[in-house]
Amino acid sequence: MQTKLAAAPEDGPMHLSIDRATAAAPVGEIKITAKDVAVFYGEKQALFDVSLDIPGNSVTAFIGPSGCGKSTFLRCINRMNDTITGCRVTGRIELDGGDINDKKIDPVLLRARVGMVFQKPNPFPKSIFENVAYGLRIHGLANKTEMGDIVEASLKRAGLWAEVADRLHQSGSGLSGGQQQRLVIARAIAVSPEVILMDEPCSALDPIATARIEELIDELRSQYCIVIVTHSMAQAARVSQKTAFFHMGKLVEAGRTDEMFTNPRDSRTQDYITGRFG
Amino acid sequence: MTDAALTTPTRGAARTRQEGLEARLKVRRASEARFILYGRLAIVIALAFLVVLLGRIVAQGWTTFIDYEVTVPVYVDPARVDVADIGGANFDMLVAQSIMKKLAIQDDDLGENLGKVMELSSNDLGFQLLKQVKADHSLIGKTVTVTGPVKADAGLYFKGEIKRSTPPDARKLNDLQLDWLDRLKKTGAVSSGFNFDFLTKSDSTEPEQAGVLGAVVGSFMMLLVTAALAIPIGVMAAVYLEEFAPKNRWSDLIEVNINNLAAVPSIVYGLLGLAVFINWLGVPRSSPLVGGLVLALMAMPTVIIATRSSLKAVPPSIRDAALAIGASRTQAVFHHVLPLALPGVMTGAILSLAHALGETAPLLMIGMISFVPGVPESITQSATVLPVQVFIWENASERAFHERTAGAIIVLLAFMILMNLAAIILRRRFERRW
């Protein structure tokens, strides 16, 4: 943890401190492929022909100024845009080669494979145990005896077990912001997804809690494909292996984190990273 | 630099500006004070109306809950009671004769005094005597003590409603009868107490024996039918409209129509009930079943509107969280959204039921105005409800019934208050913080 905090302060343009060990870590096979994905809210187009490969067993960061479409694209991956009235998605998104927008695919089952963590922690107003167990219950992934074990394992993995072991049956809403976010992550990993999507998971948290979550993300990447949307370039530099830069609904550039931040190819990327806008 | 110096600049233009600000602040504060005054005045006026209304009702009706009873030792004259036909004997006359004996009243040849004495005690005493003698024939020839209410007008005299100061032609009891009543009271045969009979007996042609039990049971049965229909159907309809129905022109049309239904005059529902339920479907007239059906139609739009607004108040983050973990829409609604909306739903349901409890106009149309002397045993039997009972008694010619009207209103209000309290308690209990 000390290493991360020491790497955090921004030294200035083009000298973004990157945790070389994290940024250069190996990535797995391509997990998610997007081809010419466009999203319309009614008549207004929010995403223009985004094509991107996302590798597994690693962290991919989406960066860009506000309103550039990164959260919209993130929500395409688990088809949460389907729940927004008037939202239309075109193009092809593949998870392990299978088209997720295929008529035969049930979004409910897709979301068991692709979990999501939101910006503002949203635990259910139930007990901590029930929060983590809910996904297991509705997908029938555990019987009564296994339930307790899986809940414990998930909370341990999320780094929350030590703090809540003695109050599993108290309400989840009684936890602090950072604890709630870790609870939400435990809830997501309890159903053993393959992909975890995180939409600005730390923006509502203080720096200490943020550091803990980033550490957790680093631990989880060996097992899951993690996609994180962040408005903090420093965070992207700290946790991700691949970075994609969005601007005004278009994917401007995507590549390995260490290369993107030291040697961006597009001038817009360079401008953003050096702080000229956004 | 002190605080005073910070807020009161002394230099030129800043000083003028400050003075302007202070002057305008005075105006703002004054208008604020006026507004607070108007608000308080409005509350005082509303409360005053409430106090006056309730005060009048309670003042008029509280005497209903006091009754006067007379205890008479009745000699069961074997000459008048035939063992073979006990029911044919005139027990009221026996009671009156015993009273005359007690007061040492002589009767004239025409038996007028006997008739006048019979106007003093209720025929309930005669009924009691009849039952006792039928059960035990050996009582014939003995003296049996019975206690029962005085007749309605006698009760009114004791409560001060019938006064000697009114000319005798204008009142129901003449001076002689009033004398006899006073003497009965002096002998200690008359006692007063809480009128439990009012709450345990049903309607009757005799005011002193009339109670609200039949109406209360009728109201209760009808509310059960209303609740059983309006709440499940209303809540399900609202859940569908809010969570599942596609938002297009049709759903807008439905929403407008539901809001309109809530504003339709209640008597229209009565006409509907008469035409459809009674005439076409043949549901028994004047039963809690048809009353419940009509009121369910009335209560449903209110339940739908209350449920929808409770569902709207649940933050979308809860729905998103449920969907993101892989819950289907139905699971997200029933496991998460509806439980959080429950306090609002329950409040809406109970309030709509409390509203239905007081409805009169539609029930008059479907025939619940008939005189129902007993307690209904099933939802298909003839019944009456509390507000209609109030209406019936108010229109009765006997003066004693008017006192009972106010008494019945007090019972009705007590029910309303109980239901509203229940709504508040249940809401508090089920409220969850998120």
Contact A125 B340 (CB under 8 A): yes
Taking the C-alpha atoms of residue B430 and residue B434, their distance in angstroms, rounded to an integer, is: 13
Q: What Rg value do the Cα atoms of chain B yield, rounded?
A: 32
Q: Would you say the pTM of this structure is higher than 0.95? A: no
According to the model, what pLDDT value does residue A73 have?
95
**pLDDT (tens digit, 9 = 90+) per residue, A196-229?**
999 999 998 889 889 989 999 999 999 999 999 9
**pLDDT (tens digit, 9 = 90+) per residue, A248-266?**
999 999 999 988 888 889 9
**pLDDT (tens digit, 9 = 90+) per residue, B353-402?**
988 888 889 998 888 877 777 888 888 888 888 899 888 888 887 778 88
The SS3 call for residue A52 is strand
C-alpha dihedral (A103, A107, A113, A119), degrees to nearest 10: 140
Alpha carbon of B384: minimum distance to chain A alpha carbons (Å): 45
Nearest neighbour of A134 by CB, restricted to B317, B320, B325: B325
According to the model, what pLDDT value does residue A6 have?
40
Alpha carbon of A78: minimum distance to chain B alpha carbons (Å): 8
According to the model, what pLDDT value does residue B3 have?
58
Contact A122 B335 (CB under 8 A): no
H or E segment and range at residue B19: helix B12-61
Contact B326 A184 (CB under 8 A): no
Tokens 């009243």 belong to B105
Domain ranges of chain B: 66-194, 213-430
b (16+ CB within 10 A) / e for A245-276: bbbebebbbbbebbebbeebeeebbbebbeee
CATH-assigned architecture of domain B213-430: Orthogonal Bundle (1.10)
Average pLDDT of every residue of chain A = 88
- The structure tokens listed for B254 are 């439905």
Nearest neighbour of A138 by CB, restricted to B317, B327, B434: B327
Q: What band does B9 get if pLDDT is binned at 50, 70 and 90?
A: low
Residue B304 has pLDDT above 90, yes or no: yes
Looking at the domain A2-30+56-77+109-273, which fold is it? Answer: Rossmann fold (3.40.50)
**pLDDT (tens digit, 9 = 90+) per residue, A78-87?**
999 988 888 9
Q: Which of B12-16, B46-50, B154-158, B287-291 has the highest mean pLDDT?
A: B46-50
Nearest C-alpha in A relative to B315: A122
Q: What band does A185 get if pLDDT is binned at 50, 70 and 90?
A: very high
Taking the C-alpha atoms of residue B93 and residue B100, their distance in angstroms, rounded to an integer, is: 10
Nearest C-alpha in B relative to A85: B247
Share above pLDDT 70 across residues of chain B, in percent, rounded to a whole number: 96
Q: What band does B4 get if pLDDT is binned at 50, 70 and 90?
A: low
Contact B325 A115 (CB under 8 A): yes
According to the model, what pLDDT value does residue B10 have?
67
Q: For chain A, positions 19-38, list CB contacts with chain B under 8 A.
A: none
Please report residues of B whose CB lies closer than 8 A to that of A124: 318, 321-322, 336
SS3 string of A193-239? CCEEEEECCCCCCCHHHHHHHHHHHHHHCCCCEEEEECCCHHHHHHH
Query: How many A-B residue pairs are in contact by the CB < 8 A criterion?
Result: 64
Alpha carbon of B326: minimum distance to chain A alpha carbons (Å): 5
Question: Per mean pLDDT, which range of A118-132, B5-19, B173-187 is the poorest?
Answer: B5-19
Q: For chain B, positions 258-317, list CB contacts with chain A under 8 A.
A: 317
According to the model, what pLDDT value does residue B229 have?
95
**DSSP β-ladder status, B143-149 and A195-199:** unpaired
Q: How far is CA B120 from CA B116, B399, B411, in A?
A: 7, 15, 28
**pLDDT (tens digit, 9 = 90+) per residue, B94-118?**
888 888 888 877 776 667 788 888 8
Taking the C-alpha atoms of residue B95 and residue B147, their distance in angstroms, rounded to an integer, is: 11
ipTM associated with this complex: 0.88
Alpha carbon of A200: minimum distance to chain B alpha carbons (Å): 15
Please report residues of B whose CB lies closer than 8 A to that of A112: 325-326
Contact B331 A112 (CB under 8 A): no
Q: What band does A153 get if pLDDT is binned at 50, 70 and 90?
A: very high
According to the model, what pLDDT value does residue B158 have?
86
- Interacting residues of A128 by C-beta distance below 8 A, sequence separation 6+: A155, A164, A167, A168, A169, A170, A171, A172, A175, A183
According to the model, what pLDDT value does residue A13 have?
45
